[in-house]
């Protein structure tokens, strides 16, 4: 049985709801129970499931594509795919967040392959203030934040965020996804290995190489603006 008898007109919350505050983990949710309720036709359970994962999935899509518009579309695609494939989720094989991250990763790979020649760096700043931006930045930019920041510090942090995002989209895709899953999504090596279907040792290697590549790109960008 599908999550509800009628196909929902909108499968995910608005972008305002998705990006208003920093995403937080929701370990208190019993995902297996929530999925079962969805399968039993509980529309409220479906809304709860989407709200529990939407911000994280949007952040993942945004960081991979660098485009707020593409991230919004891809997020919708992810939840459409989830809606149609909930019966395939097996809690015995892993947690729901890992399962939905795998679906997201597969869609992102397909998107990259279809749009390989159309990726452009000028999309980096599009909708930045409406994107995860400062709220869901990589740790290196988050470390610069303090509870009370001066306008100058705020501007510097935002500029660093832009530099990180621009550099991140230039990192090779296989390394980029590993860095995003570890440093943005805070997934552990075992979870990342399950999503990417590679050994944990390969995960660690890709993360290390990805971080090194990102650092080189950031250093190059720093040199160009000085």
Q: Which two tokens stand for residue 14?
A: 């608005």
32 φ, ψ (degrees, to nearest 5)? -60, -45
Q: What is the pLDDT of residues 158-205, one digit of tens each?
A: 777 778 888 888 898 889 999 989 887 888 999 999 999 999 999 999
pLDDT class of 144 with cuts at 50, 70, 90 = very low
Beta strands in the chain (DSSP E): none
| Domains 12-119 and 150-226 agree in fold | no
The helix (run of H) or strand (run of E) holding residue 167 is helix 151-168
Residue 121 CB coordination number (10 Å): 11
Task: Kindly write down the DSSP assignment for every residue of 109-160, as one continuous string.
Answer: HHHHHHTTTT--GGGTTTTGGGSSGGGG--HHHHTT--SS--HHHHHHHHHH
**CATH architecture classification, 12-119:** Orthogonal Bundle (1.10)
Phi/psi zone of residue 179: left (φ > 0), alpha (ψ -120 to 50 degrees), beta? Answer: alpha
User: Has residue 207 got a pLDDT over 50?
Assistant: yes
What gap in Å lies between CA 124 and CA 66, rounded to an integer?
A: 5
The alpha-carbon radius of gyration of the chain (Å, integer) is 18
pLDDT at 99: 94
Residue 85 CB coordination number (10 Å): 12
Task: Kindly write down the DSSP assignment for every residue of 60-124, as one continuous string.
Answer: HHHHHH--HHHHHHHHHHHHHHHHHHGGG--GGG--HHHHHHHHHHHHHHHHHHHTTTT--GGGT
Across 47-75, average pLDDT:
92
pTM of the model: 0.59
Considering only CA atoms, which of 175, 202, 224, 190 is closest in space to residue 64?
Answer: 175
Q: What is the pLDDT of residues 71-122, one digit of tens each?
A: 999 999 999 999 999 999 998 888 999 999 999 998 988 888 776 544 433 3
Residue boundaries of the structural domains of the chain: 12-119, 150-226
- CATH fold for the domain made of 150-226: Arc Repressor Mutant, subunit A (1.10.10)
Instruction: Considering only residues 101 and 26, tell me which one the structure prediction assigns the higher pLDDT.
Output: 101
pLDDT class of 65 with cuts at 50, 70, 90 = confident
């Amino acid at each position: 049985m599908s999550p509800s008898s009628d196909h929902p007109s909108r499968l995910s919350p608005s972008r305002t709801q998705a990006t208003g505050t920093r995403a937080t983990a929701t370990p208190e949710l019993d995902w297996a129970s929530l999925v079962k309720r969805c399968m039993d036709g509980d529309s409220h359970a479906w809304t709860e499931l989407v709200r529990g994962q939407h911000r994280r999935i949007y952040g993942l899509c945004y960081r991979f594509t660098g485009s707020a518009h593409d991230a919004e579309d891809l997020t919708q695609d992810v939840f459409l795919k989830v809606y149609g494939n909930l019966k395939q989720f097996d809690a015995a094989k892993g947690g729901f967040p890992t399962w939905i991250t795998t679906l997201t990763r597969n869609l992102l790979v397909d998107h990259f392959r279809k749009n390989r020649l159309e990726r452009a760096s000028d999309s980096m700043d599009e909708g930045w203030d409406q994107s995860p931006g400062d709220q869901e930045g990589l740790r290196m930019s988050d470390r610069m934040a303090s509870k009370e920041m001066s306008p100058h510090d705020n501007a510097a942090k935002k500029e660093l965020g832009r530099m990180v995002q621009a550099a991140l989209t230039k990192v090779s895709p296989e390394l980029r996804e590993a860095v995003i899953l570890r440093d943005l999504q805070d997934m552990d090596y075992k979870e990342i290995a399950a999503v990417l279907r590679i050994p944990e040792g390969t995960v660690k290697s890709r993360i290390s190489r990805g971080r090194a590549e990102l650092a080189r790109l950031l250093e190059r960008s720093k040199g160009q603006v000085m």
